[in-house]
Amino acid sequence: MSLVDWPSYVTIIGFAVKLAIAICKCSQSLLNKKDKSVLKIKSSKLGDYGCELSHAEVLNVLRPHQDLTYLEVKYYQGCSVPHWMMSLQHLTHFTLWLFNYCESLPPLGKLPYLEVLNIGNMKRVEKVGVELLGIEETQTSPAIVFPKLKQLSFSDMFKWKEWEGVGADFEVTIMPCLSSLYILNAPFLKQLPDFLHYRPLLQLDMREELRHWI
């Protein structure tokens, strides 16, 4: 099958892992074809077949073209996400699911066209703060973060305790287009951040232990 015969999406399942090496070496031309707008990556446990590559190393090689609009990454075992994810300036849909070792979230607020963000099963994340927004502590100029975001969901965040706001020190507009917020299974989260207190959400869905503070 030639590259032109492939559909408009690419799915990579399993870093099992000689296959991943072959993809890294041979399929970069496929990932770089700009008519491929969707990339789904679902990894499995590394170490199969004697491979010594880490998840982060594999993903760093599997860098797609910057016009990608849909990215889904599941079962990632690295400690931090690859830097190329922050360069996907045309991304509209992003799913991050079951990251076992990441303790903080990447600065996704810098993605200018992101409309749907799904975050789930971040096993070590206890706090979400300005790092997700992409705000620098020294930032003084006005900014808009998540300017196009319409739908935000968190699920199975069993260690998540705090969702930090930005305070009065930052001159920033956050998620001005947000209309839907979903939080499922975050039993230790106590409150929403200040920038969501007066947000006119069209749909708010929070389940399990969160119902006591709705």
pLDDT of 92: 97
Q: What is the pLDDT of residues 108-124, one digit of tens each?
A: 999 999 999 999 999 99
> Model confidence at 76, in pLDDT bands (50, 70, 90)?
confident
Q: What is the pLDDT of residues 77-92, one digit of tens each?
A: 878 888 888 889 999 9
Q: Which of 62-76, 78-92, 179-193 has the highest mean pLDDT?
A: 179-193
Q: What is the pLDDT of residues 4-25, one digit of tens each?
A: 344 445 555 555 545 555 555 5
Is the dihedral angle over the CA atoms 124, 10, 118, 174 positive or is it negative?
positive
Q: What is the pLDDT of residues 166-175, one digit of tens each?
A: 876 678 899 9
Angle at 49 between CA 47 and CA 50, to 5 degrees: 60
Give the separation between CA 18 and CA 47, rounded to whole angstroms: 10
Rounded average pLDDT over 50-61: 62
pLDDT of 1: 35
Out of 45-54, 89-98, 155-164, pick the least confident. Answer: 45-54
What is the percent of the chain with per-residue pLDDT over 90, rounded to a whole number?
Answer: 38
Give the separation between CA 101 and CA 46, rounded to whole angstroms: 14
pLDDT of 41: 77
Sequence-separated (6 or more) residues with CB below 8 Å from residue 113: 89, 90, 91, 92, 148
pLDDT of 46: 47
SS3 of the chain: the string is CCHHHCCCEEEEECCCCHHHHHHHHHCHHHHCCCCCCEEEEECCCCCHHHCCCCHHHHHHHCCCCCCCCEEEEEEECCCCCCHHHHHCCCCCEEEEEEECCCCCCCCHHHCCCCCEEEEEEECCCCEECHHHHCCCCCCCCCEEECCCCCEEEEECCCCCCEECCCCCCCCEEECCCCCEEEEECCCCCCCCCHHHCCCCCCEEEECHHHHHHC
pLDDT of 140: 61
Please tell me which residue, 199 or 117, carries the higher pLDDT value: 117
